[in-house]
Amino acid sequence: MHRAALSRLLETYRDQYPHESATIERYRAFIEANPDCFKRSLLTGHATGSAWLVNQQMTHVLLTHHRKLNIWVQLGGHADGNSDLRNVAWREASEESGIADIEVLSDELFDIDIHEIPARGDEPAHFHFDARFALRAGSNDFQVSEESHALEWVEIAKLADKTTEPSMLRMADKWMSINAPG
């Protein structure tokens, strides 16, 4: 995947979620204006990859209590120059959970988000242009990495009991509508 491939994914995503067009256009403008958008060295922001990692039954999502941000969110992180954000999401999910058996459920974007990361040390405040992919774990056993305070399988239907982060609740709503019984 490169910038053009990511742009095509965003076009397909817009067809599915036209009500998110303002965020989609902001994301597209960012990647078009920044050839180095996959590199963390771009101080204004960078493209990142995240995983909506569900269990085998697809009823629970694995969340991290993020060490730096101190909130419950999905697994994910920096591309570090890798323009294949689906691969980044898979790698980050595996590294942050210790789960090796992870399957990509779709090559399409599950969600996108643009969020500000606060300044820390000599790193200025910047934006993460996050591409999120749906993945499924082959095991429920995980190991907490140094990037997390904790990990927890959270029932998707009850995600609002764990977090009020708008993008997390949006992903739960999307998941529930896509995977509704019957």
Amino acid 150: pLDDT: 82
Can you give the length of the chain in residues?
182
Burial bucket for residue 15 (CB in 10 Å: 0-12, 13-18, 19+): exposed
In the chain the first and final C-alpha atoms are separated, in Å, by 35
pTM over 0.85: yes
Instruction: For 21-83, give the DSSP string.
Output: HHHHHHHHHHHHH-TTTT-TT-TTEEEEEEEEEE-TTSSEEEEEEETTT-SEEEEEEE-TT--
Mean pLDDT of the chain: 93
Amino acid 86: pLDDT: 97
Amino acid 125: pLDDT: 94
Low-confidence ranges of the chain (pLDDT < 70): 1, 148, 180-182
Amino acid 108: pLDDT: 97
Amino acid 181: pLDDT: 62
Amino acid 1: pLDDT: 55
Amino acid 129: pLDDT: 98
What span, in angstroms and rounded, lies between the C-alpha atoms of 47 and 39? 8
- What tokens were used for 42? 């771009």
Query: Do residues 104 and 152 lie in contact, with contact meaning Cβ atoms separated by under 8 Å?
Result: no
What CATH number was assigned to the domain covering residues 3-178? 3.90.79.10
Amino acid 91: pLDDT: 96
Per 3-state DSSP, the chain is made up of helix, strand and coil in percentages (nearest 5) of 35, 30, 35
- For 79-132, how does the pLDDT look when each residue is reduced to its tens digit (9 = 90+)? 999 999 999 999 999 999 999 999 999 999 999 999 999 898 888 999 999 999
| Domain residue limits, the chain | 3-178
